[in-house]
């Protein structure tokens, strides 16, 4: 399994950004994909998870209403659309993958996931 994130960069508060996670060695029918982020000096935080095998999505409270996770099967890519960004969203964003269905207990738990990308940096600043 290989995961490669892209799309990070510097944006101003209030702007939007879309992150991509290109996956290989897995299919979304059997695997679930999650987005995490880690700000300097903070723990890795689960943001969103997509589990298409049971048609479930999970969002952290900090992401609800602003972030949307989606998948393009043809490109084997998962996206994280982020709107209304604030400086508090500044972090390295990672995608992670695991086989099967996570359930609400594990979907946004970093220790659940054995497969990780290298991360992409998002900086929100004026």
First to last CA, the chain: 37
Asked if 60 and 45 touch (Cβ cutoff 8 Å), the reply is: yes
Q: Which phi and psi (to 5°) does residue 64 adopt?
A: -60, 130
Would you say 123 and 19 are in contact if contact means Cβ atoms under 8 Å apart?
no
Q: What is the DSSP string of 41-65?
A: TS--EEEEEEEGGGTEEEE-TTTTT
Segment 30-70, tens digit of pLDDT? 999 999 999 999 999 999 999 999 999 999 999 999 999 99
User: DSSP readout, 14-49?
Assistant: T--EEEEEEEES--TTTEEEEEEEE-TTS--EEEEE
Q: What is the pLDDT of residue 39?
A: 97
Q: Which residues pair with 22 in a beta bridge?
A: 4, 77
pLDDT tens-digit series, residues 70-109: 999 999 999 999 999 999 999 999 999 999 999 999 999 9
Q: Assess contact for 94 and 116: CB atoms under 8 A.
A: yes
Computed on alpha carbons and rounded to an integer, the radius of gyration of the chain in Å comes to 13
Average pLDDT over residues 11-25: 98
């Amino acid at each position: 399994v290989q995961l490669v994130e892209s799309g990070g960069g510097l944006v101003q508060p209030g702007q939007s950004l879309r992150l991509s996670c290109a996956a290989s060695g897995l299919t979304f029918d059997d695997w679930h994909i999650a987005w995490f982020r880690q700000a300097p000096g903070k723990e890795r935080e689960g943001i969103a998870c997509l589990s298409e095998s049971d048609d479930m999505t999970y969002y952290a409270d900090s992401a609800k209403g602003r972030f949307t996770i989606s998948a393009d099967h043809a490109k084997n890519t998962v996206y994280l659309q982020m709107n209304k960004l604030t400086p508090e969203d500044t972090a390295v964003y990672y995608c992670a993958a695991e086989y099967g269905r996570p359930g609400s207990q594990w979907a946004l738990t970093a220790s659940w996931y054995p497969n990780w990308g290298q991360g992409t940096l998002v900086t929100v600043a004026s």
